[in-house]
Amino acid sequence: MAKQQETGSFDAMLYRQASEALDRRFPATRWLAPLRKHALERLAHSGFPTTRDEDWRYTNLKQVVLRSGEFLKRSTREKQSAARRVAKSELNRLLLPGLTDITLVFVDGVYQPELSSSPPPGSGMRIRTLATVDEQEREPLLETLGALAGIEGCQVTAFSTAFLTDGLVIDVEADAHVPAPVYAVFLSRTADISTHPRILMNLAANSSACLIEHHKSLHPCLSSSITEIRCADHARLKYFKLQQEHHSAFHLASQHISLADSAGMQAVHLDLGSALSRNGLNVKLNGDHAKARLHGLFLADASSHVDNHTRIDHQAPHTRSEETYRGVIADHGRGVFNGKIIVHRAAQKTNAQLTNANLLLSPGAEIDTKPELEIYADDVKCSHGSTVGRIDTNALFYLRTRGIPEQEARRFVIRAFGGEIVSRIPVPHLYRPVSDILAARLEHADSKPGPKQ
Amino acid sequence: MKLDIRNLHVSVGGTEILKGLSLEVGTGEVHAIMGPNGSGKSTLAHILAGRSGYEVTSGTVTYNGENLLEMEPEQRAWAGIFLGFQYPIEIPGVNNSYFLKAALNAKRKYLQQPEIDAIQFLKLVKEKARLMKMDQSFLNRGVNEGFSGGEKKRNEIFQMSVLEPTLAVLDETDSGLDIDALKTVAEGVNRLRSDDRAFLLITHYQRLLDYIQPDFVHVLADGRIVRTGGRELALDLEAQGYDWVTTGT
Ligand SMILES: Nc1ncnc2c1ncn2[C@@H]1O[C@H](COP(=O)(O)OP(=O)(O)OP(=O)(O)O)[C@@H](O)[C@H]1O
Ligand SMILES: [Mg+2]
């Protein structure tokens, strides 16, 4: 048994049963079955990653794998639609404010049309769910789904795909500029289920759009999501992901974004919840002058584990990337950051900067950070670095001499550290509410400080 | 206001820095402390503000009859003590005016006064900033973040003028100031001078004392007050250096 877990193998029978149940339970997406079957085979072949895989050295999926079978079983059971009937008033309390124009709500993995609103016709944006796409779209979708993510390479992607039941397909027409953010909400209200959120987005040439992903669960559960976004020439993408899973939940997510000539993206990732989370952000700067600006803030407290892996591939000349991630680790929390920048041979005149700064709030807090640069071109400007520090006692003393109590002074400093990332959220009206969420969360994380430093 | 320091001995990491320092500061008084580099002036200032890392091996410090050494830094602030830092700390991302409002309200809370309302506060800080000839934009920057040396010192006095302490300890606030800034800072101090306040000015330059006339001048050398006099002492020191007061003590 112990040996089995080490090899990352799972309860194949439960998985197979769950997979078969999907075909029956979700007839509208039965057309995805070949994709699912293929992914399940891949997974059966390779198993989940273990800490012996270089990419997973610090993140042990044992608990996730162990419980996943049972979660899958529960989520494919027929009778639990009642839990999905969520009142609008409850929903409003859970959602970010001011994003009602284009809202797509999934509850327990199931799309809720009556809680959602689509972009108006003529806006240049079209959104469908996998369950409602036209029949002639299915064939090409079977090809594109996973093309950027590549299930061959990653077992977690294979897992998510093996149980894919629904998702969003978002198309932005050429030259269309859609000011309202697309707000995709993935809410889990039932305990011990497994959901597999999926987004496929296409920005045609010279278009612009904003996507917000909000992952939230009220009970322990597993969520494994995949987002794939293609930006054609001169397209502009703004992206914000807020992860607020239950403190006992598991969250395994990845985003795969490709940018063509002169396309640009700005992304902010905020990891505030879950017992174990792993986010993989993969950006491919495929076209000349493509650029990406990535910001992230992750928080681990209690005994939670938060892992951010980012990878930027500079494939073309004159591409730029700028990445800043910050980690706040409290209690016995553990953070992992791995930021990889690969400058390929063709990517001359590339400019890449990566920094990761971490704040440890207690003696039991831990962080493993590793920025990596691989450069195969010779005319490039690259820099990377990471820092790990504790709260500056001089700053605390300064604030206290002005009459600010110690706890509050700590909060000031911690909030300022995280606030820098929040201020980058590409939707200005969200600064305030997200700052409040962050402040409350940080206050909670720092409310049980260890021995004074 | 009454500060009474008696025979204070303070060590850092086993090295004795203050070696039996005694000083009394009464209400309405302005005391200047001068002394060679490394003599313990900043150490004294830090001890009064409650910085950790120092060991008081003997002696007492009472403030308005209470044992100051037992109070936390914030409690000392509420009781009216203010420290102007020799090297003000940069705190990136903590908004200057937000921070000052929190400081003001913390004191008000301690005094069981209602919080200051936003409009009133804004009026107050704008007025004080104007008096300190500080650009409004400084209010919305991070505390001392990217401030020049002189701007940091000005910001200290600006904070002091908003917080209105009863005992202000200013550690070399005049160092690094150009002549106009020095005047502005001196005006800031003079405006606050009153019968119910006191100042402890640590300085190397008698120049400051042209603008802020002290009641007493002390020489701190090797951890002790070795000489006390009036304004004229500062002039003598300027002319002759410290040797003539420190030798033979
Ligand atoms: N944390 C510390 N560890 C070791 N020595 C210290 C520490 N803090 C102060 N000292 C020493 O104590 C002595 C007094 O320092 P202090 O800063 O009080 O001097 P000062 O009179 O303010 O000097 P200056 O005029 O240069 O500002 C110095 O020799 C200094 O090196
Ligand atoms: Mg000093």
- For residue B46, the ligand 1 atom closest to its alpha carbon is 18
A126 forms bridges with which residues in the sheet? A171
Whose tokens are 């206290």? That residue is: A400
Contact between A243 and A251 (Cβ < 8 Å): yes
How far is it, in rounded angstroms, from Cα B169 to Cα B200? 5
Which pLDDT score is estimated for B239?
A: 86
Structure tokens at B76: 């000392």
Asked if B89 is an interface residue toward chain A (Cβ–Cβ < 8 A), one would say yes
Could you read off the pLDDT of A192-201 as tens digits, one per residue?
999 999 999 9
- pLDDT tier for residue A355 given thresholds of 50, 70 and 90: very high
* Percent of chain B's residues with pLDDT above 90: 92
The alpha carbon dihedral of A440, A442, A447, A448 has a sign of positive
Is A420 part of the contact surface with chain B (CB cutoff 8 Å)?
yes
Write the pLDDT tens digit of every residue in A84-132: 678 888 899 999 999 999 999 999 999 999 999 999 999 999 999 999 9
Q: What is the ipTM of this complex?
A: 0.97
Distance CA B165, CA A402 (A): 10
* Per-residue pLDDT at A323 exceeds 90: yes
**Domain residue spans in chain A?**
2-287
Please name the residue of chain A whose CA is at the shortest distance from the CA of residue B85. A398
- pLDDT averaged over every residue in chain A: 93
Based on C-alpha coordinates, what's the Rg of chain B? 18
Residue recorded with tokens 């190397």: B204
pLDDT surpasses 70 at A6 = no
Share of chain A above pLDDT 70, in %: 96
Residue A1 has pLDDT above 60, yes or no: no
How much is the pLDDT for A87? 85
pLDDT tens figures, A258-312: 999 999 999 999 999 999 999 999 999 999 999 999 999 999 999 999 999 999 9
In chain A, how many H helices and how many E strands? 10, 20
Q: Does A405 touch chain B (CB under 8 A)?
A: yes
pTM assigned to the model:
0.90
Which residues, including other chains, have CB under 8 Å from residue B89's CB and lie 6 or more apart? Answer: A392, A394, A395, A397, A398, B143, B144
Alpha carbon separation from A379 to A345, A349, B54 (Å, rounded): 10, 5, 53
Q: What is the pLDDT of residues B64-78, one digit of tens each?
A: 999 999 999 999 999
> Cα separation of A335 and A433, whole Å?
25
Nearest Cα neighbor of A339 from A315, A359, A321, A361 is: A321
Q: What is the pLDDT of residues A328-353, one digit of tens each?
A: 999 999 999 999 999 999 999 999 99
Task: Identify the band that residue A5 occupies on the pLDDT scale cut at 50, 70 and 90.
Answer: very low
Ligand 1 centre distance from Cα of residue B43 (Å): 6
Split at pLDDT 50, 70, 90, the class of A76 is confident
Q: What is the pLDDT of residue B37?
A: 95
Residue whose Cα lies nearest atom 24 of ligand 1: it is B37
Radius of gyration of chain A (CA): 21
What are the residue ranges of helices labelled H in A26-153? 33-46, 62-75, 88-94, 135-144
Ligand 1: residue whose CA is nearest its atom 1: B12
